Amino acid sequence: MPSAEPLVVIAGRVLDVSTGEVLTDRALVIDGDRVRDVVEAGAAPQGRTIDLSGRTVLPGMIDCHAHLIGEMDDGQGYAYLLTRSSAQEALTGVTNARATLLGGFTTVRDVGTFHAFVDLALRDAIEEGRLVGPRMMCAGAYVTSPGGGGDITGLPPDVPVPSELRMGVSTGPDQVRANVKRIFEAGADFIKVIATGAVLTSGTNPGEPELTEEEIRAAVEEAEARGTHVAAHAHGAEGAKRAIRAGVRSIEHGCLIDDETIDLMLERGTYLVCDMFDGDWMIQEGPRLGYSDEVMRKTEMTNDAQRENFAKAVKAGVRIAFGTDSGIYPHGMNARNLAFHVRFGQTPMEAIRSATLGAAELLGWDDRVGSLRPGLFADLIAVDGDPLDDVTVLEDVPFVMKGGQVVKG
């Protein structure tokens, strides 16, 4: 519904992430929660005005691999989650969501929580305006093999784990299908499968596949029947290849992939999402945080390899989307990962695109977020300095607007 008087944001520079151009002296005309138009500053209509003429304006950033639920990772596995209630977990989301939004991320794809469906409650509370946070696309739970990277491990075999912590634990395509249906019925937006072992889940090996191609395909079929997609956690090449062949939309981490995996990704149009900043965080902060020797060892095994593979994938032309594994490091520092995209082969504009329009395309949400086209949500940020010269200016975002509302600045 166009209101009589629009909100006018005067922008010194606007990054057009669709064309890669920088537009100068523009006005963004905002009606309610949507962008109505981007015009020459001189042609702006009358209305309430926000002056960002000294700043660079760009779409709100998108993190395709966030975990807004839970305390920051302590690198000792996930058995402690038996001592945590869903309510306690949910309340961590309140501060994590706020920090993420104030860090310039107006949308996240939340790729899973062990306490099933807590992410969905956070998403809905933000949507209802009860809490300040980014728009969330949510996985609801992890689809994983018993004892796999998305299961609760590290407990004695006779200690039962409550079913709400094992909602997606599955053996065989039929059980995958049944669990995926249950996860969608609860309100999830997409499905996260754990195709290989994980760095932070004790007793699992990142190099080893944990689901069969048939199991992953069952999840993909159920997701596609609902018009959505599957994201696959995959470090090792074999697990990643099974996931790509089964039709997942993105490979998360991709630390130990090989040339054949990259070829398959190109052939299938699969996205690669690489969390690289958190590797530095884990190596630097892990010992202080009390990380187990096992987690430190697996971090060292995957960290440099991931960066090499990211560089190879960029060079080969694989679709890249931005994701950070927030929760390993403190929420709000998500933009630190941009510098790694640049260090390992992307131009600053490509890195920014991977965290805006490219990310929105991965989510299938480019009709609502990711650029400043008319009709999309008025989700935007402004920074001092030139992010095309130095992407690290995006690590400190002084102005954030979500849905036409100023949340910072």
**Which parts of this chain interact with Zn ion (CB under 5 A)?**
325
Nearer to Zn ion, 31 or 252 (CB): 252
Q: Which of 212, 277, 216 is nearest to 249 (CA)?
A: 216
> Within its chain, how far is the Cα of 405 from the centroid?
22
* Least spacing, CB of residue 324 vs Zn ion, in Å: 9
Q: Decide: 58 and 16 in contact? Cβ < 8 Å.
A: no
- Based on CB atoms, which residue is closest to Zn ion, 65 or 98? 65
Please give the backbone phi and psi of residue 279, each rounded to the nearest 5 degrees, phi first.
Answer: -65, -45
Q: Which is nearer to Zn ion, 207 or 398 (CB)?
A: 207
Q: Which CA distances in Å does 202 have to 148, 231, 259, 326? A: 9, 22, 28, 19
Q: Whose Cβ is closer to Zn ion: residue 190's or residue 377's?
A: 190
Q: How far is the CB of 250 from Zn ion (least distance, A)?
A: 12
The answer to whether 253 touches 274, Cβ cutoff 8 Å, is: yes
CB of 108 to Zn ion, least distance (A): 12
Q: Considering the complex, what minimum distance in angstroms separates the CB of residue 143 from Zn ion?
A: 14
Q: Measured from the CB atom, is 292 or 392 closer to Zn ion? A: 292
Q: Give 139 or 223: the residue with its C-beta nearer to Zn ion.
A: 139
Q: Which of 329, 255, 334, 335 is nearest to 74 (CA)?
A: 329
Q: Which residue has the tokens 């060079």?
A: 315
Q: How far is the CB of 111 from Zn ion (least distance, A)?
A: 5
In which residue are the tokens 């706020």 written? 98
Determine the residue with CB nearest Zn ion: 325
Contact indicator for 409, 400 with CB cutoff of 8 Å: yes
What would the two tokens of residue 347 be? Answer: 């131009």
Smallest distance from Zn ion to CB 325, Å: 4
